[in-house]
Amino acid sequence: MNSGCLTSILSRSKRSCAVIGLCFALASFGAYSDEATRALTVDDVLGALSSITERRDCFIESKHTALLTEPLKSEGTLEFRSPSYIEKRTLAPEREYFAAESEQLTVQDARNPKPRMLKLASYPPLQGLVTAFRGSLAGDMTALTKFFESSVHGKAADWTLLLLPKNDLKKILASIEVAGSGATVRSFTVRENGGDYSVTKIVPCIDKSVFGAK
Amino acid sequence: MSPNPPALRYSINRRQLVSLVIFAAISAAVFALTPVKTDMSVFFARGDTLLQRLLADELLAGAASRVVLIGLDAPDTDTAVAASRTLQAALVDHPDIASIRNGAQELSDAERDFLMRYRYLFSTRWNAQSFSSDGLRAALDEQMRKLRSAFAPFAKQTLAIDPLDQFWTVLSQEAPHTAPTLADGVWIDTTGRLAPLVAQLHAGTADLDGQERALRAIKTAFDANAPASVRLHVTGAPVFATQSRAMIRDEVAWLSTLTSVLVVGILWLALRRKEYVLLGSLPLLVGVVAGTAAVGVVFGSVHGITLAFGATILGVAIDYPIHLLAHLVPGESAHTTFRRLWPTLLLICVTTAVGYGAMALSSFSGLAQLGVFAIAGLIAAVAATGLWLPRLLAARPPPPIPRWAETAPVALHGARVFRVAILVALIALIAAAALPGFGGKTRWWNDDIQSLNTVSSEQRATDARLRAALGAPSVRHLIVVTGADEQDALAKSEALLPQLESLQRDGAIGGFDAAARHVPSIATQQTRQRLLPAAEPVAQTLAQVVLAFSFRPDTFTPFIADLSNATRLPPARAADVPPGVMKLRLDTLLRPVGDRWLALIQLQDPINAARVAAAVTELRRDDVVALDLQSATASMLGDYRREAVRWASVGGIVLWLILALQLRPLSRALFAALPAVLAVAGTVATLHLAGVALTLFHVVALLLVGGLALDYALFFFRTDALPKDHGATLFGLVVCAVTTAAVFVALAASAVPILAMLGTTVTLGIVLTFVATLALAGFARSAL
């Protein structure tokens, strides 16, 4: 089991994948079973998440809005590098590149092929969203606390991190739910105040068929 | 030493006592009735041209004169943000502060509604094609893309009413391009540790007390709330104005105390009698009162600088009683002595008054005040010396003439080689400065108003740092457009927008702000309105286009309804803008001056002034002017300075002509003018060699030096002197020169640049005058 994890790290050192998360979850299994009676805390979940410093996965996003008769779907890759780099590369139906490195935002799309550099702080709602995604993947309690009240539900192998916005962010966002297992994040659900919501599922990039979906 | 109080008391009879009391009462009334001003307005001509008026207006009462920039320096972003919020909250309701922004206050809801309503009339980015089926399809496609993107939360707010995105276009026209970034809704500079705030005060430069109250409130609010790790920087015109006032006040207070002590001390040492010291100061006091009263009557108020400057210039008035006292002879009544000295004293007074009379004609109200002050003061002082002193002195024993004063003239007369050496040295000094090799590197003149400013370079650096952090417009460069009325000025500035945009693209300016960018002219709005299609056909086209998308069918009902509103909207004037940030900007950028209207175009750094000026010149229009406030004030000061030189030269020539009428033959008059010429030229040469470029105020100081030199020469070269007068004359002159020099040495130590300049120049001048007069006096006696 340990050797499997090790080979995985050695062979694909640049990438992290569900296998690593699984290894981690299994390795920690003993500890969890010992304290089966103790409730899972935010620190437990963030601690597990922070053990992985590089992630590269695929995402499938569907946005539900009252303006449209059907959800908007998009797919691409989601990359994270500790401590503060996050990159969302939408590949279908239209390419969009969106990356944040600490406070610097870089966006690029088919209409604006020249990358635009923006300050994250100038777009408070985006700053909140980036913090939720990046902070969860990094297991960064300090960053999350700045914008959200966090709580955790479920058990180590199947947890939900609930982020409730503070301050001005409350005017737009109702909540963000991060669901996962051990050190793996499975989905982000962003709920807006008007009832609109979006679900971003995180899947391993092994199944290339996701790119052919549309 | 036995001062004789009973004698003094005895010597003042009732009439004299009454006259002293009346004088004291008049003095009190004069100072109570004459307002003392300390603002910079004295430096500006009551403008004849619109540009001069604008310049004075902009610097004295413009929006810039009421804006305070605040910076909070903290160890980290969170602390800076928290401190910024607390300070803003503490000051937002203060009665002396009109508004305080830290970034949190954006466009008000009323302003956003206004811009949304007028978006088709204000936006530059739509045409008839935008409402065709191709145009609408492209717009909906873009909206779908936005919904999918990370920016969906922003897009959704206006999608239904504004699928053409004209509201965002108008918003981006409205927002300054260089606004600082936000951290948690609060401005923060690029280092992340400086939180800038902008406060606008109610009080302008005319109400420095109000400005001072507001600044104190900022300081108090900061001290009460901010943690110790945060540092406060406050800058802007109100800070400079109040600090400069406080500084001038303090300086004038301690300088007048110090100089009074010095003068009294020297008089005491020289004259050895308490009553002489008192009597000696009397003409000076009379002069100051008369000068203040005259300026008050002519100008309505007196400037603090005039008072300080004028009082020191009037310091020469103390020479009159000194000369009188020094020339007293035992057994001779003071009246007789005065009658003997009268022609010389009168000549001194007239010549000096003529010198300053030239200044009274200046269009620079600061100089004119000084001229009036000096003339009135000198005449009053000499009158007091002649009419009052002899009575008060009665039959008082003369002060002892020290032995050195008796022997020095004889010794000096013998030391021919020494005298020649001094003259050669003086001439060599003047020649050295005139030669390009030595003084060539120094400019002769300096007309930069900054050199007169009491603002320290450190403060100016803080100011620049905060302005950069805020992306505040340049305080130096702007373009001024004038028009017959609001719409005329607006339309003219609107026509410049393409050129300004191209200047910005080419990097000649960092950015710009113009009223026409916030509210277009009515003509432009009407042109755009005529282009708007009727709502019904657009609704039909849209109904077809929308089928290709997954939008709910009724999504764009608000868009269609609003389009028919827009076609009926009356075009907006500046006055229609609801109160808020935008209104404040507009009031600064578009306003009436006299019977004309001004549209200002503010520029942002970095600015290539030459290219801006070239672009404006290319327009060949006299209603568009590129204004550089710094060079405009410099050229204004330059004009004053040239005027001062001109008037001083005229004064000098008139002065010498009077002298020539009095002193005959002509060779004697020419000779008497020599020390003055040598002293003035020597002073200029020394300053130039020391790397000092001369300002307007040096010219005034040089005029004073020239006047003093003539006074000294007149006494020395007097033809009607008694033999024993030689010692008395030298004694009197030494006392005069030492008191005057002591006063100006004290001034040279002042932190107010103008006073320091005056002090250094006159001190130098007096030393050179004295040296030149002594060196020449020996020749005078032997030659004439």
DSSP letters, B457-517, are: HHHHHHHHHHHHHHTPPPSSEEEEEEESSHHHHHHHHHHHHHHHHHHHHTTSSSEEEEHHH
A67: nearest CB among B149, B182, B552: B552
Cβ B184–A70 below 8 Å, yes or no?
A: no
Is the pLDDT confidence value at A29 over 50? no
* Secondary structure of residue B418 in the 3-state scheme: helix
Measured distance CA(B26)–CA(B24) in Å, rounded? 5
Please state, in angstroms and rounded to a whole number, the distance separating the CA atoms of residues B731 and B422: 21
CB atoms inside a 10 Å sphere around CB B393: 22
User: Would you call A121 and B188 a contact, using CB atoms and an 8 Å cutoff?
Assistant: yes
Residue A171 at interface with chain B, using a CB cutoff of 8 Å? no
User: Which residues numbered 118-137 in A keep a CB inside 8 Å of some CB on B?
Assistant: 119, 121-126, 129
Q: In this complex, is the C-beta atom of A94 within 8 Å of any C-beta atom belonging to chain B?
A: yes
Are residues A67 and B160, on separate chains, in Cβ contact within 8 Å? yes
Residue A192 touches partner B, C-beta closer than 8 Å: yes
CB B603 within 8 A of CB B493: no
What's the whole-number mean pLDDT along residues B237-263?
A: 82
Residue A71 predicted with pLDDT over 90? yes
- What φ, ψ does residue B687 adopt, rounded to 5°? -60, -45
Q: For position A64, what pLDDT does the model report? A: 94
Q: Closest Cα of chain B to A50: distance in Å?
A: 24
Which candidate from A96, A119, A168 shows the least CB-CB separation from B149?
A96
Q: What is each CA distance from B438 to A175, B435, B688, in whole angstroms?
A: 78, 6, 9
Residue-level pLDDT at A17 = 45
* CA of B469 vs chain A CAs: smallest distance (Å): 15
Tokens 């306003």 appear where?
A: B591
Record: contact B142-A94, CB cut-off 8 A: no
Contact A80/A138 with Cβ under 8 angstroms? yes
Report which secondary-structure segment, H or E, holds B348: helix B334-360
CA-to-CA distance for A28 and A31, rounded, in angstroms? 5
Q: If you count DSSP H runs as helices and E runs as strands, how many of each does chain A have, helices first?
A: 6, 11
Whether pLDDT at B467 is above 90: no
Max Cα distance, chain B (Å): 123
Phi-psi label, residue A17: left if phi above 0, alpha if psi -120 to 50, beta otherwise: beta
DSSP secondary structure letter of residue B750: -
pLDDT of B44-78, one tens digit each? 554 556 666 666 666 666 666 788 999 999 998 88
B184 contacts in A (CB within 8 Å)? 121, 124, 167
- Of chain A residues 6-35, which have a CB less than 8 A from chain B? none
Let me know the angle formed at the C-alpha of B574 by B568 and B577, rounded to the nearest 5 degrees. Answer: 75
Give mean pLDDT, residues B548-570: 92
CA-angle at A76, arms to A70 and A79, nearest 5°: 135
Note the pLDDT tens digit of each residue in B613-642.
888 888 888 888 888 777 777 777 777 788
Residues in B lying within 8 Å of A, measured between beta carbons = 142, 144-145, 147-154, 156, 159-160, 181-185, 188, 192, 550-552, 555
> What is the average pLDDT across B524-529?
94
User: Cβ A94–B152 below 8 Å, yes or no?
Assistant: no
Structure confidence at residue B529 (pLDDT)? 94
Residue B86 has pLDDT above 80, yes or no: yes
Element (H, E) at B433: helix B416-434
- C-alpha B278/C-alpha B271 separation (Å) is 11
Phi, psi of B200 (to 5 degrees): -110, 130
Mean pLDDT score, B324-345: 81
Least confident piece of the model among B2-16, B99-113, B411-425: B2-16
Query: Look-up: residue for tokens 């400079």?
Result: B240
How does pLDDT run across B153-209, given as a tens digit for each residue? 888 888 999 999 999 888 877 765 556 677 777 888 888 889 999 898 888 777 788
CA gap B19, B534 in Å, rounded: 91
Residue in A67, A94, A131, A176 to test binding to B, most B beta-carbons within 10 Å: A67
pLDDT in tens, A102-158: 888 888 887 778 888 777 877 888 889 999 999 999 999 999 998 999 999 998 899
Where is pLDDT greater, at A181 or B432?
A: A181
Q: Is A79 helix (H, G, I), strand (E, B) or coil?
A: strand
Of the two residues B412 and B425, the one the predictor is more confident about is B425
Contact A129 B150 (CB under 8 A): yes
The strand pairing partners of A64, in sequence order, are: A197
* B232: pLDDT strictly greater than 90: yes
- Selecting from B145, B154, B159 the residue whose C-beta is nearest the C-beta of A67 gives B159
Q: In which band, very low, low, confident or very high, does the pLDDT at B328 lie, cut at 50, 70 and 90?
A: confident
pTM for the predicted model, two decimal places: 0.65
User: Are residues B152 and A66, on separate chains, in Cβ contact within 8 Å?
Assistant: no
**pLDDT tens sequence across B427-457:** 888 888 877 666 555 677 777 666 666 677 7
